[in-house]
Structure 1
Amino acid sequence: MIRRLFAALGPEHDSALRRLLGLFAAAALLQGAAFVLLVPVLGEVLGNEPERAWPWVIALAVLWIGYAAVNYPAALAGYKTGTNLSRDLHHRIGDKVAQLPLAWFSADRVGGIGHLAAQRVVDIMSVPAHLLRPLVDTCVTPLVVVLAMFVFDWRLAVSMAVAAVAAAVTFRMAGRGMQAADRHADAVHADAAGRIVEFARAQPVLRAFGRTVEGHTALDDALTAQHTAGRRMLRAGMPGIVGLGFIAQASFIVLLALGTYLALDGSLGTAELIALLVLAARFVEPIMFIAELGGAVRVAQNAVDEINALLDTETLPESEVTRQPDGADIELDEVRFGYDGTAVLDGLSMRVPERRMTALVGPSGAGKTTVIKLIARFFDPDAGSVRVGGVDVRRLPDPTSLISAVFQDVYLFDGTILDNVRVGRPDATDEEVYAAARTARVDDIADRLPGGWDAPVGEGGSRLSGGERQRISIARALLKDTPIVLFDEATAALDAENEHALQQAMAALSRDRTVLVIAHRLHTLREADHIVVLDGGRAVEEGVHDELLARDGRYAHYWRERSRAHGWRLTSV
């Protein structure tokens, strides 16, 4: 576990952990030596000349003073190292998550990250703060006692060595079951955490459909599984506790019986026997203690393994040789991509002209949003290439500096309206932030809410409507001021007035920027300079609006269907 802990924490913590191990080992060595000195001290005190014990007593006092001098800084270093590790692990997990491709973030993994960052980091923090010290004591102190016992009586020393080997084998065997049970419990806890969040977020839907009772079923099942997993962990840990406890007690009884036999046989004095039995008791005590800590050790070991697994996850590769793009046109060449083995794009080739507005059209599941995410390099294609300005996005120095994206699902941070707009460019001036916000009609939201621009939006933007969240997201993209802007159904949640304002903003952007918009609205299609029709993961048609209508193909059929739907009205019967 120690090696895996070093790997999880990185080389920057090597010196601190080695120093901590050194302090703990020194303290355990001094403690073991002090226990050994109890034998000559008791031997002299119980002998014919008790005054001869004073040199041993002084030596014992010196050892205990040295132990105290090492033990205090070791304890402080353990807690300090634990808190430092907790902080740095959170940073390392956060940095890693920010580098992972979006395809990695499945529902079960998102819940697992929360459990990893919360519970598992605490489990690892407890290693230097609480577990490492008794682990070192359990290894070093009995070793010192056994080696010293060979000096006094080899027969009792051999008995202790056999007991130590039996305890180590029992601890290892019991630990395997505990480790497997903890891994199962960890998966169950992550699922339960996800279910709790899902249940809270789904309250509007559940209540709207009267599922206030039935809606608990999935959560109840997850909590029941969590309870069962906890009981399984207890059952898995009990054999180790009982087994080690039995070995410890049996070892002491065997040592007592053997020592008594040797004393009655005359080969061991009574005073020496009492002293050696005290030493045997100090040998047995760490074994009893490690039995109680065994479960915590295995849990911490699993936590280290899980964090190492996350940190070892492959991220998007960074090219050692980068190139600056020549322009802001976008081209996809024979791109293939899928999710979990299901193909979405199947040899897609298309071009987005520079400084023009291109509309992406197609049925649900055609891969429109996937195209947007591939261009922004949220993940890489399985085959083919995505080029910006003639350069593969994998060889761009920083694709995010060239591209702004507005997605259909908008997340706002729990802060003010102004804070959420400023996310687009944190170093922007207030005037630039206000200008971008007004272009996206965010000023209407600020005028409506108490507090104006400083009004809190709530967690995830819960105080705002879907259209208002969308407008703030658009303002972020405008503030970022990049040569390429990607809109993923940006007008889906806007009313007619604000949709018109957004259309004007998009038209203004397209005069000096490359704009790609996933379009469903008729106005957007009319205003587009270029239209690409997707179907079956391929571009089946490209051209301008009038030209595509004249072809009477997929686009013409789509236009007619949307035109008929545009005229639908609800009437009373």
Structure 2
Amino acid sequence: MIRMLLHLLGEGHDRPLRRTVALMTAAAVAEGLSYALLVPVLRALFGPRPAEAWPWLAAFAAAVAVYAVLRYGGDLAGFRGAAVLLRGVYRRFGDHLARLPVGWFTARRVGEVSALASEGVLQAMSVSAHLLAPFISACATPLTIVAVLLAVDWRMGAAALAAAPAVAAVQVWTGRRTAADDAARAEHGDEATGRIIEYLQAQPVLRAGGRTAERFGALDDALSGLHRVLRRSVLSALPGMLGLTLTVQAVFTGLLALGAYLALGGRIGPAELLAVLVLAARCADPLLSLTDIGGKLRAARHELARIDAVLRTEPLPEPREPVRPAHHGLEFESVAFRRDGRAVLDGLSLSVPEGHRVAVVGPSGAGKSTLLQLIARFHDVDAGAVRMGGADVRAIGSETLMERVSIVFQDVYLFDGTIEENVRLGRPDAGAAEVRAAAAAARLDEVVERLPDGWATDVGEGGALLSGGERQRVSIARALLKDAPVVLLDEVTSALDPVNEAAVHAGIEHLMAGRTVVMVAHRLRTVRSADRIAFLDGGRIVEQGTHDELLRRGGRYAGFWQASSAPAASG
């Protein structure tokens, strides 16, 4: 457990944690040794001169004071260490997630990460603050008391020592019995979390379709599965709890019988017998808590293992000697890319000269959005190469690459904050005049003027307090402020009303001016002004040319154009 914690945090955290463990161990041993003073105290009390017990009582009080100081220091170090560990794990966890490929974040993994980032990390870090001290006490204090028993009477000490393998065997058996249930509990917890997130995010669509009851069923199934696993987990741990209780009680009963036998035979005095029984009773309390503490430690260890599994996920590698692109033209050379065992792109080749606009069209699932993601290096290709300015994007540093790319997605995510704060994400050091100019070019100023709080208007989590068209204008203003030489547009107007579509188109025209542009669009009328149109199907570019050229050929693009124009003509 300790080794795994140190592994997760890396170097620099081992000394405070080892100091915490040392203090807690010293406190547990001091507690056990303090009970050794009960023997001379009881001997004096049962002897002819009871007043001789006072010095031993003073020594006992001093020992308890030493234990209290050590325990306070250990607990304080544990809480401080937990705060350091929590901060360190969150920082490392967040930094690592930011480096993972975007394709790693499936819907299931979003639920897993949500659970880990909240309950999982807190449960794992509770080891130092809440579990380490009682666990060390439950192990070290009884062993120290056994050593004291051996010093008082070797027969009683040997009988108590014989219980150690039995207690350890019960703990190991309980751990193995519940290991599968711990994993199943985590899996069903992730599933339930993912369902809850999905259900909340899908409320507008579900209510519009009148299908809330159906989705309630899916969520109920996930929660019912979690309930069954939790119940099975409790039932699996019950035999271990009963086994440990019976073992400890049996040992205590055996010590009582052995002590009575030795006392009746005159081989041990009443003071020693009473001290042994007090020590045995005090030894039983921490041992009985081992089942509960052990279960919590196993759960925390499981969470640590899950966090470790995420941290072991390989991020996209950074180049050892990064290069800088010579220009801002783009090139796909025989690119192949697979996702979930399915070929998305297969031998795709495409060239986008610097300053040109290329539109990519094709049927749904053809890989159009994937093509944009490969330019931004959200994924790495399986074969071939994606180049910017003649340099493979894998040879360009991530920061350098992203400085040169602005992306406007169909589904815009805004952070919970003001409009101005979200626009400034494009270039945080931009002046107020630059922010206002970008907003005007994106037609965002029209939105700001009609809002009561203007630029200080809170957009809500994900931009929920703004309409889709307003969020899109914020996104375009952000891209304009960034002023990157390469612009990637992914279905930016497919779900907008005519008014917002016109405003967004005006902003897009400002954004594309003088830049290398790759745009994906279902509405083919939005790509007519492109310098070149590439039709993507089956993972390959099957035809390309200008709008007029492709219509004259009468190929796949011409068929798509006619199909998209038919509804407008009939209307």
Q: Which TM-score band (shorter chain)?
A: over 0.9
Q: Aligned residue for 2:115?
A: 115
Is the 8 Å Cα contact of residues 43 and 272 (structure 1) preserved in structure 2?
Answer: yes
SS of equivalent to 2:12: helix
1:550 is aligned to 2:552: yes
CA distance in 1, matches of 2:507, 2:448: 19
Identity across the alignment (%):
50
Is the 8 Å Cα contact of residues 443 and 507 (structure 2) preserved in structure 1?
Answer: no
Relative to structure 1, the CA distance from residue 137 to residue 341 in structure 2 (aligned partners, 3 Å threshold; closer, same or farther) is same
SS of equivalent to 1:517: strand
Tell me which moved more, 36-45 or 138-147. Answer: 36-45
SS of equivalent to 2:466: coil
2:539 corresponds, among 519, 532, 537, to: 537
Task: Write the letter of the residue equivalent to 2:62.
Answer: V
Question: How far is the alpha carbon of 1:543 from its aligned partner?
Answer: 2.4
Q: Aligned residue for 1:132?
A: 132
1:487 corresponds, among 486, 489, 509, to: 489
Question: How far is the alpha carbon of 1:358 from its aligned partner?
Answer: 1.0
1:282 is aligned to 2:288: no
Q: Aligned residue for 1:304?
A: 304
Q: Aligned residue for 1:85?
A: 85
Q: Aligned residue for 1:246?
A: 246
Q: List alignment gaps of at least 5 residues for structure 1.
A: none
Q: Aligned residue for 1:475?
A: 477
CA distance in 2, matches of 1:215, 1:385: 42
Q: Aligned residue for 1:327?
A: 327
Question: How far is the alpha carbon of 1:470 from its aligned partner?
Answer: 1.6
TM-score, scaled relative to structure 2: 0.95
Question: How far is the alpha carbon of 1:568 from its aligned partner?
Answer: 3.6
Q: Aligned residue for 2:528?
A: 526
Q: Aligned residue for 2:419?
A: 417
Counterparts of residues 191-230 of structure 1 (less than 5 Å): 191-230=191-230
Task: Write the letter of the residue equivalent to 2:287.
Answer: I
Q: Aligned residue for 1:104?
A: 104
CA distance in 2, matches of 1:185, 1:416: 39
Q: Aligned residue for 2:171?
A: 171
Q: Aligned residue for 2:186?
A: 186
Question: How far is the alpha carbon of 1:511 from its aligned partner?
Answer: 4.3
Counterparts of residues 270-419 of structure 1 (less than 5 Å): 270-397=270-397, 398=399, 399-419=401-421
Question: How far is the alpha carbon of 1:337 from its aligned partner?
Answer: 1.1
TM-score, scaled relative to structure 1: 0.95
Computed over aligned residues only, the root mean square deviation of the Cα atoms, in angstroms, reads 1.9
1:428 is aligned to 2:402: no
CA distance in 2, matches of 1:332, 1:162: 72
Q: List alignment gaps of at least 5 residues for structure 2.
A: none
CA distance in 2, matches of 1:522, 1:212: 34
Question: How far is the alpha carbon of 1:131 from its aligned partner?
Answer: 0.6
Question: How far is the alpha carbon of 1:315 from its aligned partner?
Answer: 0.9
Task: Write the letter of the residue equivalent to 1:297.
Answer: L
What are the Cα deviations for residues 303-331 of structure 1, in whole angstroms up to 9, with x where unaligned? 11111111111111111111111100111
SS of equivalent to 1:281: helix
What are the Cα deviations for residues 521-567 of structure 1, in whole angstroms up to 9, with x where unaligned? 34432211122111100011222233333333222322333333442
Question: How far is the alpha carbon of 1:289 from its aligned partner?
Answer: 1.8
Counterparts of residues 34-113 of structure 1 (less than 5 Å): 34-113=34-113
Q: Aligned residue for 1:14?
A: 14
Question: How far is the alpha carbon of 1:119 from its aligned partner?
Answer: 0.9
Relative to structure 1, the CA distance from residue 500 to residue 199 in structure 2 (aligned partners, 3 Å threshold; closer, same or farther) is closer
Runs of 4+ displaced beyond 6 Å: none
Task: Write the letter of the residue equivalent to 2:317.
Answer: P
SS of equivalent to 2:518: strand
SS of equivalent to 2:295: helix
Counterparts of residues 429-468 of structure 1 (less than 5 Å): 429-468=431-470
Is the 8 Å Cα contact of residues 245 and 291 (structure 1) preserved in structure 2?
Answer: no
Is the 8 Å Cα contact of residues 362 and 368 (structure 2) preserved in structure 1?
Answer: yes
Tell me which moved more, 54-63 or 85-94. Answer: 54-63
CA distance in 1, matches of 2:91, 2:48: 65
